[in-house]
Amino acid sequence: MNQAKKVGVFLTVWLGLVGALIYAQYVKQGESPREAISRKKIGLLITATGRYINMANELIASAHKYFCKNHEVTYFVFTDGEPRADIQTGGSSIAGAVSDLDQHAKIVKINWAQQGWPYDTLMRFYAYHQNKDTLADMDYLYAVDADMLFVAPVGDEILSDLVGARHSQLMFKRGIYDTNPLSTACVNRHEGTHYFVGAFYGGKREEFFKLLDTVTENITTDLSRGVIARVHDESHLNRYFIDHEPTLVLSPSYCHFEAWPSPYPKKLIAFDRPIHSDNKVRKHAKISPLAYLQKILKEEVRG
């Protein structure tokens, strides 16, 4: 056997062992099949302002096909548009507006104006926190980015008290934590084990609400200091997960970048779309953090 073939065989065996070890790690952490959980009320939270509503409609259609099919799912869409699920999915049409989508799935539109980037992503926690009363009937709550698609069944394996998903591109290196000491999201060098994506997380209602309470307060503090965390809401989520360790750590299967080669099976994919950099999709805000905070406080006073 020549040297090139030996190297090829070695790499094949090595990659196989690494894949097996990774799989074993996540089976141990709870992604293995388990006994069926009784029917629960599960809320899927989607923020989709401006042209993001078009992506959200595709997401809803894919979730209708794959997400927690044994449970009662409600889609809470924070938008200034019109949520629908009328996309061709898997050869069958999932069509309908809010009133007639499906007897086992319900879309609740919550009016939420486009804030301007980066506030559109940063203030999602604020949007959820403002509407806790609307979400209070759910047993579990999960937040998901609008530009995602479910491509395989996602079910009881994600149900736990507090759930985060590891970032696929930062599995074996330190995450892009915020290191600004002025930010409440700051992470010191000795802190942090997993780096979590802000694209999919959740848990039981009570734990989700605790997360909202803490992170919303932290973001308000940052804005009052004129600070925005490095990766916006994701930075605050990672700070919270360091202080409150998730009871379930999901693999990158639950935020799998579309074109990224990996040993993880794809369940929830994040599209690599050039449209995301389009100013027509991401409308950049021309307002400072402190001025933005003053603006939302005035809006609260007006009621």
What is the residue extent of each domain of the chain?
A: 1-32, 41-302
* pLDDT for the residue 239: 96
Span 83-92, average pLDDT: 49
Architecture of domain 41-302: Alpha-Beta Complex (3.90)
Q: Phi and psi at residue 152, in whole multiples of 5°?
A: -155, 160
pLDDT exceeds cutoff 60 at 19: no
* pLDDT for the residue 115: 83
- Burial (Cβ within 10 Å: 0-12, 13-18, ≥19) of residue 215: buried
Q: Give the percent of the chain with pLDDT over 90.
A: 47
Residue whose structure tokens are 């069926």: 36
Handedness of CA 214, 169, 267, 93 (dihedral sign): positive
Lowest-confidence range among 16-30, 35-49, 287-301?
16-30
Specify the DSSP class assigned to residue 254: G
